[in-house]
């Protein structure tokens, strides 16, 4: 590089740094604050899945499956979902199933 390019580079660098310093000095960044603690979420979801084309001990290949259990933490009701079916209620926590 020639001497003129170095001078131009140094001048641009100094101008950029001084502009950044001035702009940060004018508008200080707000202080970080801790988030207020939140209550437990209303619904808890636990998912499960099995891979497809798994051969069982009997030599039968299974299709892939997936599902989820959903718990209402307020009301205590539990639902079950398999693949893309509608949720099925399993009852409430602590209640005996018929």
Task: List the Cα angle 38/42/45 in 5-degree steps.
Answer: 115
Q: What is the pTM of this model?
A: 0.49
Question: For the chain, what are the domain ranges?
Answer: 43-92
pLDDT of residue 77: 93
Can you tell me the distance from the alpha carbon of 67 to that of 12, in angstroms, rounded to the nearest whole number?
59
User: Who wins on pLDDT, 83 or 52?
Assistant: 83
pLDDT tens for each residue of 40-59: 788 999 999 887 776 667 76
Round the CA-based radius of gyration of the chain to a whole number and report it.
31
Q: How far apart are CA 36 and CA 33, in angstroms?
A: 9
Element (H, E) at 69: strand 65-72
pLDDT > 70? residue 97? no
């Amino acid at each position: 590089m020639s001497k003129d390019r170095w001078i131009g580079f140094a001048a641009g660098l100094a101008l950029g740094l001084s502009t950044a310093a001035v702009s940060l000095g004018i508008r200080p960044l707000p202080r970080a604050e801790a988030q207020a603690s939140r209550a437990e979420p209303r619904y808890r979801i636990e998912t499960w899945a099995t891979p497809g084309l798994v051969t069982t001990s009997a030599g039968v290949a299974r299709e892939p499956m997936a599902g989820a259990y959903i718990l209402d933490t307020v009301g205590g009701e539990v639902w079950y979902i398999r693949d893309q079916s509608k949720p099925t209620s399993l009852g409430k926590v602590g209640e005996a199933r018929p």
